[in-house]
Chains A and B, each alone.
Chain A
Amino acid sequence: MLSDQLVVERIRRDFPIFSRLENGKPLIYLDSAATSQRPIQVINAVVEFYEKINSNVHRGLYTMSEEATEAYEAARANVSSFVGCKPEELVFTRNATEALNLVAFSWGRANIKQGDTILITQMEHHSNIIPWQILSAEKKAHLEYIRITDDGLLDPVSVEEGLGKGPKIVAITQASNVLGTINDVKAIAKKAHEAGAICLVDGAQSVPHMPINVKEIGCDFLAFSGHKMLGPMGIGGLYGEFDLLDSMPPFLTGGEMIKEVNLEGASWNDVPYKFEAGTPNVEGAIGLSAAVNYLKGIGMGWVRSHERELIARALPLMLDENGVKVYGPTNPEQRGGVISFNVEGVHAHDVAEIFDSEGITIRSGHHCAMPIMNKFGIPATARVSFYVYNYGDEINVLMNAIKKVKRVFSVG
């Protein structure tokens, strides 16, 4: 078996972006939680669609359109198998945000009534907060939050309290984009069902990074984005349990999502087409399918263990570094490949700017998760995030960059 280093070297050869220099230095890309890079196989799949079969899908009676439709539906089958559902249970969306909005405004408007409870957590991305805030205001429903502990874990007492309120839905992230925390969504889904709720999992930060099977998790919905898992931007997915999807009204409306239209009204197309109004992102779906093939080739088990090793190496160094505050769980088993931190006395923006001078690209800000920032009483954090193409040596460069920040600002 190849060593980790060799596997990563082989992977990196597939990513054209790594021939680019950042401020004259080799690019160290530590912002995959925002968007991942794409391998040549994905880029080629998109180019090939445009060069060879570019045409609109469905209802085309000529050969090329049939080929495009076949490729689009083959992509659906491949991506659905990646998360462990049937093809008809996978709706292609623009991204995880759109998938979450779909559930809130289709399922939510049909099922949430005045006085009902919606349960989410304090560690959600804004995309799994705002739709519920809007829905609960519209329906005069209660939006409740499961609190997080100081080490960035779900507070088990708060979990029970929340479920005790008899929610209609529990919407929870599987992996936090800020704290890295991996939540036991299988246990949450089970508890949610026992409490009479359905369970929606935000998989934007988990589907790219670990083996996922929705039937094993037992959730009713799972949202994810293609661009965080080596795929193109503008394509994502929503898994929905078939009967649930079937019972839901449409979300966006227009072409493709209808069966019959007359001047008085319309009847809806079958699942999943009912939720795919308008010309879909065909090249995106095909690119995402290529990304799934790439990840299947590496093995999601390897992806998870590779990131866990990087975290196990980086985390103790950062925790030991004077003047550096790290947020989230300290046990690598409990977290994905994300580390949020601050250098005492230095704003996260300045940290990111100085990192950039070393060729290291990181994110700084509130990461669209302001309730977490409020919980820790900070305006922002700097965040590094790892993926398949990162390797251990980059952590040394990272630590040197932290030392440079401290030098420039004479702190720590």
Chain B
Amino acid sequence: MDEDLYREIILDHYKHPSNFGYLPEANAKFRDSNTNCGDTIQMEVRVDGGEIRDIRFTGVGCAVCIASASLLTEKVKGAKISEVMSLGEKDVLSLLGLSSITPERGKCAMLPLKVLKASLIQFQKQA
């Protein structure tokens, strides 16, 4: 085990995630899961003028996955769509305070960003 995985910040966000819940005024929404572990994340986003005005998420997952979703939603509130699209694994790891992650757990960490991007891509297609 990477002891870092169970640092304060990850455990805190796992137990008390920010922005957990539904967003009735959302105009972008996507849900996906990791086939191997069954982690599921749904992102609900309100986009106005190319910016993320509000965001909520729901889902089930391990500590890394939920903490990643929680930290990510905090970070992207107010961000431009293009800024979100340029985020990558490095950014997610830095939010989690990790310098590296195993490939298997990397999928857990990256699921929320993957779902968020998918919701925005779908939003742009519809617009």
Binding site for B on A (CB under 8 A): 23, 345-350, 353-354, 356-357, 364-366, 370, 373, 379-380, 408-410
Please name 17 further chain A to chain B contacts, defined as beta carbons within 8 Å, in addition to the given A346-B63, A347-B63, A370-B38, sorted by A numbering: A348-B62, A349-B37, A349-B39, A349-B105, A350-B63, A354-B1, A354-B6, A356-B1, A357-B3, A365-B36, A365-B37, A365-B38, A373-B38, A379-B38, A379-B61, A380-B37, A380-B38
Using Cβ atoms and an 8 Å threshold, which residues of chain B touch A349?
37, 39, 62, 64, 105, 108
Instruction: List residues of chain A with CB within 8 A of the CB of B61.
Output: 347, 379
Instruction: Tell me whether B11 and A408 are in contact (CB under 8 A).
Output: yes
Give the residue name and chain of the B residue nearest to A358 (CB). Answer: B1
Contacts of B37 in A (CB 8 A): 348-349, 364-366, 379-380
Cβ-based interface call for B98 (8 A): no
The distance from the CB of A360 to the nearest CB of chain B, in whole angstroms, is 10
Choose among A346, A347, A353, A379 the residue that contacts B1 (Cβ–Cβ < 8 A).
A353
Contacting residues, chain A, for B1 (C-beta < 8 A): 23, 353-354, 356-357
With A347-B61, A365-B36, A365-B37 already in contact, the answer to whether A409 and B3 are too (CB < 8 A) is: no
Bound-state Cα–Cα, A346 to B38, Å = 14
Size of the chain B interface, CB-CB below 8 angstroms = 20
B60 contacts A379, C-beta separation under 8 Å: yes
**B108: nearest residue on chain A (CB-CB)?**
A349
In the bound complex, residues from chain A placing their C-beta under 8 Å from that of B108 are: 349
Complex Cα distance, B7 from A409, in Å, reads 10
Contact A347 B62 (CB under 8 A): yes
Residues of A within 8 A of B105 (CB): 349, 353
Tell whether B40 is near chain A: CB-to-CB under 8 Å.
yes
Distance in Å: Cβ of A361 to nearest Cβ of chain B: 12
Closest A-B pairs by Cβ, 8 of them = A357-B1, A347-B62, A349-B62, A379-B38, A365-B37, A366-B38, A379-B60, A380-B38
How many angstroms from the CA of A364 to the CA of B64 in the assembled complex?
15
Q: Does B26 contact A (CB under 8 A)?
A: no
B81 at the interface (CB under 8 A from A): no
- Chain B residue contacts of A346, Cβ below 8 A: 63
Q: B5: CB under 8 A from chain A?
A: yes
Which residues of chain A are near B63, meaning CB under 8 Å?
Answer: 346-347, 350, 409
Question: Which residues 39-68 of B sit at the A interface, judged by CB distance below 8 A?
Answer: 39-40, 60-65
A347-B61, A350-B62, A350-B63 as given contacts; A379 in contact with B6, CB under 8 Å: no
Contact partners of B65 in chain A: CB under 8 A:
347
Q: How far apart are A41's CB and chain B's nearest CB, in angstroms?
A: 32
A356 to B2, CA, bound (A): 9
Complex contacts, B36 vs chain A, CB 8 Å: 365
* A367 → chain B closest CB, angstroms: 10
With a CB–CB cut-off of 8 A, which chain B residues contact A354?
1, 6
Of all chain A residues, the one with the shortest Cβ separation from B37 is A365
Interchain CA distance A373-B36 in the complex, whole Å: 13
Chain B residues numbered 92-119 whose CB sits less than 8 Å from any CB in chain A: 105, 108
In the complex, the answer to whether B11 meets A379 with C-beta atoms within 8 Å is no
Give Cα distance in the complex from A324 to B79, angstroms: 41
| A345–B66 alpha-carbon span in the complex (Å) | 12
Closest to A364 in B: B37
A349 to B2, CA, bound (A): 13
Report the bound CA distance from A230 to B54 in whole Å.
55
Which of A23, A357, A379 has the largest count of B CB atoms less than 10 A from its CB? A379
Residue of A nearest to B66 (CB): A347
Chain B residues 1 to 21 lying within 8 A of chain A, measured CB to CB, are 1-3, 5-6, 11, 15
Q: Closest B-chain residue to A356, C-beta based?
A: B1
Q: Which B residues touch A364, using CB under 8 A?
A: 37
Question: What are some 6 contacts across the A-B interface (CB < 8 A)?
Answer: A345-B15, A348-B37, A353-B2, A353-B105, A365-B37, A409-B15
Given A349-B37, A380-B38; A409-B62 close (CB under 8 Å): no
